Amino acid sequence: MEGWAQLPLTSGRRRLYENKTLICKDCGAPFDFTVRDQMFYAEKGFENEPQRCRDCRTARKSQRGGASGAGGTREMFDAVCAQCGESTTVPFRPSGDRPVYCRSCFTAQNAVRA
């Protein structure tokens, strides 16, 4: 029988997964919450079912700045390397309370620690 799976829970009981059709809270379209998706959610420890379809989740992520690796551009900030004095850019806003290093000095600094 396709569309279902049984996995053991940590308590020793088994949990039955079946394909479900959910309604997206943003666009109102039905979308499938497959057995595979449910198993992924359980593996990650997610307790709630998804509330948005894949398209609306992707759109929401891109509006919020996206998930890592989503292809969005990252804001870079100008800084001066605390070790060599060269101008550089970094992916965070330097606060001034900690040293900022250029790529080569940062790499050299980490190689010494390892």
Q: Please, are residues 112 and 83 in contact by the beta-carbon 8 Å criterion? A: no
Start-to-end CA span in the chain (Å)? 53
Q: What's the token pair of residue 18?
A: 């079946």
Mean pLDDT over each residue of the chain, to the nearest integer:
83
How much is the pLDDT for 50? 96
Q: What are phi and psi of 31, to 5 degrees?
A: -145, 155
Reported as type and span, the H/E element at residue 105 is helix 103-113
pLDDT in tens, 32-78: 999 999 999 999 999 999 999 999 999 998 887 644 555 567 889 99
For residue 114, pLDDT beyond 70: no
Q: Please, are residues 80 and 105 in contact by the beta-carbon 8 Å criterion? A: no
**DSSP, residue by residue, 5-41:** EEEE-TTS-EEEEE-EEEE-TTT--EEEE-HHHHHHH
How much is the pLDDT for 64? 79
How much is the pLDDT for 13? 52
For residue 102, pLDDT beyond 70: yes
What confidence tier does 79 reach under pLDDT thresholds 50, 70, 90? very high
SS3 90: strand
Domain ranges of the chain: 4-63, 77-113
Mean pLDDT, range 85-103, rounded to an integer: 92
For residue 3, pLDDT beyond 80: no
Amino acid at 76: M
Q: pLDDT over 70 for what percent of the chain?
A: 79
Higher pLDDT, 113 or 70: 113
